[in-house]
Amino acid sequence: MTTSLHVALCGTVLAASLFLPAAEGDGELKIEATGLRLVAPAVSADESVRAFNWSLADWSPGTAVALLITAPKGGLVQFDSANSMLIKFSDDKGTDLLARPPTSAPNQQRGTMRSTGNTGISLFPKVSQDGRFCAVEVNTPNLPAKGASRLRLEGVITMLCATEKTEHAQKNVPLRDSATINAPNLELIIRETGKPEMGAEPLGLTLRACRDLDEVAEIRFYKPDGSEIKSRRTGTSKMGLLGTLTVDWNYNLAELVDSATVKVFLWKDMRKTKTPFGLDIDVGSF
């Protein structure tokens, strides 16, 4: 697509937001656009002169809209990317921003896009600690047509929601490779114990499961006297191959111990909330 856009905009979008009833008992979810980013491709093969290339943010060429999902009563746990999708992303000149670009050069493809079908939803949503907000981006390598003043964005957002937890404790768990932690319908295998590659903590380990861990709210480690061992989750990975699934959660522990009581907190009332949305975003309202 030929375009003369050579600007980048970022700010609060004056756009219509949408309140829609969620699943029974969930209350209302509000979906609104809170930011817009437009970046033209570089005019030179030297990518260093591309607009905002010096920024730490992702300013790859294309269009991005920031969405904020709000649950006034809280309860947002995780963005469900597998069941969220875009149906329409266009401008008021009739440009289909979901269309495959005429060229697919590597420097025009956003590394954080999930480009299957009509989706262009960031793989890195953020849920606030109080469970009331979730921020997610919609991305496309395409730009609006010259003179466009409004964008139309339609789709479906699905969130995993819950408010209550159950606690399951296992005492004297050896923190060594191949040891197991068990909770209802769940087995975690300890792997890769030792000094972590990243971080100053003396002990790192990986908890591996052969299934999704969506219902796991948190995992904590305790000494025999009941005091908690300070820990932090440092990474998550998921791999599917030939019908099998492996999920790894990586932890760093602030104390070097041989064993611990491990408490697994599971969401008791996990449910999916699927919400359709439609937003008209006025480009010229900054």
CA distance 42 to 71: 39
Please tell me the predicted confidence (pLDDT) of residue 56: 57
H or E element: which one contains 29?
A: strand 28-39
d(CA 171, CA 138): 44
| CA neighbor of 128 nearest in space, from 77, 165, 64, 72 | 77
**Residue 41, pLDDT score:** 82
For residues 136 and 110, what is the distance between their CA atoms, to the nearest angstrom?
A: 15
Residues 212 and 153 in one domain: no
58 & 176 share domain: no
- pLDDT, residue 21, reads 39
Same domain, 99 and 186: no
Q: Measured between alpha carbons, how far is residue 215 from residues 152, 165, 172, 186 in Å?
A: 34, 9, 24, 10
Asked whether residue 256 is domain-assigned, the answer is yes
Instruction: Mark whether 99 and 214 lie in a shared domain.
Output: no
**Is position 276 within any domain?**
yes
**CA angle (91, 277, 3) in 5-degree steps:** 15
12 assigned to some structural domain: no
Question: Is residue 4 domain-resident?
Answer: no
Is 10 within a domain? no
Q: Map residue 82 onto helix, strand or coil.
A: helix
Q: Which single residue is written with the structure tokens 């319908």?
A: 185
Domain span holding position 66: 18-163+271-282
Predicted local distance difference test score (pLDDT) of residue 10: 38
* 43 lies in the same domain as 138: yes
| Helix, strand and coil percent figures for the chain, each rounded to 5 | 5, 50, 45
211 and 182 in a single domain? The answer is yes
Is 192 found in the same domain as 51? no
Whichever domain contains 172, its CATH number is 2.60.40
The whole-number pLDDT of residue 57 equals 62
* Number of domains comprising the chain: 2
The answer to whether residues 119 and 183 belong to one domain is no
Is residue 138 domain-shared with residue 24, that is, in the same domain? yes
Per-residue pLDDT, 46: 73
Q: Are 136 and 120 in contact (CB under 8 A)?
A: no
Q: Are residue 223 and residue 109 in the same domain, yes or no? A: no
Split the chain (286 residues) into runs of 10 and give each run's mean pLDDT. 37 41 52 91 75 68 92 91 92 92 49 41 87 94 92 94 95 96 96 93 96 93 96 91 90 96 95 93 72
Residues 33 and 145 in one domain: yes
In a domain, 8, yes or no: no
Rounded Cα distance, 196 and 205, in Å:
8
Residues listed for the chain: 286
72: tokens are 């006034």
Within this chain, do residues 172 and 204 fall inside the same structural domain, yes or no?
yes
Long-range pairs for 1-6: beta carbons < 8 A, 24 or more residues apart:
1/95, 1/101, 1/102, 1/142, 1/143, 1/145, 3/40, 3/143, 3/144, 3/145, 3/146, 4/146, 5/38, 5/40, 5/143, 5/144, 5/146, 6/40, 6/43, 6/51
> Has residue 203 been placed in a domain?
yes
pTM for this prediction? 0.72
Which pLDDT belongs to residue 82? 87
Give the separation between CA 44 and CA 284, rounded to whole angstroms.
28
Exposure string for 12-30, b = 16+ CB within 10 A, e = fewer: ebebeebeeebeeebeebb
- Residue 9 within a domain: no
What pLDDT is recorded for position 238?
87
Sign of the CA dihedral with 12 first, then 17, 21, and 22 last: negative
